[in-house]
Amino acid sequence: MIGELIAGRYELHELVGSGGMSNVFRAHDRLLERSVAIKVLHEQYSADEDYVERFRREARSVAQLAHPNIVTVIDRGEEDGRQYIVFEYVEGENLKGLLSHGALPVDQALRYGLQIAGALDFAHKRGLVHRDVKPQNVLLTEEGEPKVTDFGIARSVDVQSVTQSGTVLGTSDYIAPEQARGEQVDQRTDIYSLGVMLYELLTGEVPYSGDNFVAVAMQHLHDPVPSVLDRRRDVPVRLDLAVQRAMAKDPADRFESMEELIDELERCFGELGSDDEATRIVRPPRRQRATRPRRRFPVVPFLLILLAAAAVAGGAYLFFGDSPDVPIVAEENPSGPVRLQAVGAFDPFGDDAEHNSEIAEATDGQRTTDWRTEEYQNFTKEGVGLVLRAPREVALSKLTMQAEPGFEAKIRAGDDPTGPFADVSGDWQEVETATTFNIDTKDKTYRYYLVWLRLPREGGQAHIYEVTART
C-alpha cells in the first residue's frame, strides 16, 4: 500500500504500526501539506459489520475528545471498501519504547501518570472508557509530552458494546480482572490498567509475567497485588499504596473515579522530597457490598493489606473498618503554593477551541513555552479563557500569570471545567509581563479556576507563558 493515494489526498509513505484489526501509516496530506497518521482497517474485516462499526465508533469517540494529551482525529472515510481514520501524526516513540531503557525517575513517572490520568478522566467525563490502556498506546511528542491513542475498543459507559457478552478485549499485561472474565467494564477498569502502567513506570517491569495470554490473565485474577517497594526502595510509601489501590482486584476497592486517583497522585507529587510527608497513608474506601453487582463467577478471595496504626504528621492515624466515624489521615491545608494544571480552553461564544494542543504549556513549569489564543482581526466576544484544575478543592488567594502584555483578564472559579464560573478577582486587570490577581472566594473552595481574558476591540492574540497560584 506504500505510495497509494487515499481519498485523493493522503499519500501513504511508511508503515509505522500494525495490529490485529488495522495498519497505521505515516502519510502526507497533500491538501494541508503536513504529515498525518492514517489507520486502515484490515481488508478481511471490511465485510464484517461488527468490526466496521467498532472502527467507526473509534473515530466518533476520539472526535469528541479535544484534549492536549489525546491524539486528535482529523478525518474518517471509506476508500474502495476499506475503512480509514486520519489522526494527527506524533513524531516520537511510544511510552513502551521509553521503558526499554528501564524504570523512570519517580517525579517523571508521576508527571506521566498525571497527564495520562487527566486524558482518561476527560474521556470518562464524556462517557467513554478506553479499555486498552497500556504504554504502547501512549505516544510521546518530541518535547516528551504523552498523548493517549488507540481508542479502538473504547465503549460508551451507557450503551451496549457491539462486542458480544463474554468476549475478552484488552492486552493481558494490563488487563483488569473483570475484563479478563468478560464482565461489564467501567472507568475503574481504566484505573486498574493505569495502575499497572504506573507500576511499570516505577519498576521497569510489568507486575505479572507468563508464557501466554491466559497465564498472565490468571495472575491478574488471582495473585496478590505486588508492592513497588519490593523492587524499588526509593518510592514513597504513599505512592506505593496508591498503585496498589488502583490495582485492587475488586473494582469496589479501587479509586472510585480517575479524578480521585488524580487527587492522590497530586498529593504524592507534592510530597516528593519530604521524608515525613512521603510516608503518609490514605485509608482505602470502605466496601459498598450492598451496591456491588453480582458476579458471574465465584468471588475471588481478596487479599486485604492490614497496616498498623501509625502516628503521622502530628497525630493522624490510619484505621480499617466499617464504622462511619473511623478516622482517616488528617488533611493539612496550609497557606502555600498550589500546583495548577491547564486542562482546556473555554470558548462558549466560539468553537470551544483555542489552540488546544498547546494548553499544557501554560502550566508546564517552563516560561519559554506558551499557550496562545487564536489570532483575531477584531474581538467581539465577551471573552475566551483557559481552564485550570487544582489538585483538590481549594480557596486560592493569589494567582500569578506570566504573559505577553496586550490584553485584559480576570479570574473566575467553578466546580466543573465546563462552567458555570463565578468572578473571584473583581474587575478586569491590564495584563503585564507578570500580573498577580488577588482572589476572594468568600471562603468557598473550588476545583477549577478560569483565566477569563479579552483582547482589544481591534483584535490580536494573547500569549500566556506560565500560571502559578497559592492559597
Q: What is the pLDDT of residue 274?
A: 43
Is-catalytic flag, 142?
yes
Structure confidence at residue 379 (pLDDT)? 92
Q: Point out the least confidently predicted range of 220-224, 289-293, 427-431.
A: 289-293
| CA neighbor of 403 nearest in space, from 370, 355, 374 | 370
pLDDT band at 360 (very low <50, low <70, confident <90, very high): confident
* DSSP type of residue 351: T
92-114 residue pLDDT tens? 889 999 998 899 999 999 999 99
Residue 236 has pLDDT above 50, yes or no: yes
Which of 37, 41, 65 minimizes the C-alpha distance to 54? 41
Amino acid letter at 10? Y
Concatenated DSSP letters for 156-223? ETTS--SSPTT---S-GGG--HHHHTT----HHHHHHHHHHHHHHHHHSS-S---SSHHHHHHHHHHS
Average pLDDT of the segment spanning 342-370 = 83
Helix axes 237-246, 258-270, angle to 10 degrees: 170
pLDDT, residue 273, reads: 58
Task: Quote the mean pLDDT of the chain.
Answer: 80
Which pTM value belongs to this model?
0.58
H/E run at residue 393: strand 384-394
What pLDDT, on the 0 to 100 scale, is given for residue 19?
67
Distance CA 146, CA 302 (A): 33
Catalytic residue among 33, 142, 382, 458: 142
The answer to whether residue 74 scores a pLDDT higher than 50 is yes
Confidence of residue 320 (pLDDT cuts 50, 70, 90): very low
Predicted confidence (pLDDT) at residue 457 exceeds the cutoff of 70: yes
Residue ranges of domains in the chain, CATH in brackets: 5-88 (3.30.200.20), 95-279 (1.10.510.10), 337-470 (2.60.120.260)
pLDDT at residue 388 is higher than 80:
yes
Band the pLDDT of 160: cuts 50, 70, 90: very low
Complete edge-to-edge strand list for the sheet that includes strand 22-29 = 5-6, 10-18, 22-29, 34-41, 82-88, 73-79
pLDDT value at position 293? 42
- Of the candidates 223, 224, 229, the residue with the CA atom closest to the CA atom of residue 242: 229
What does the pLDDT average to over 289-317? 34
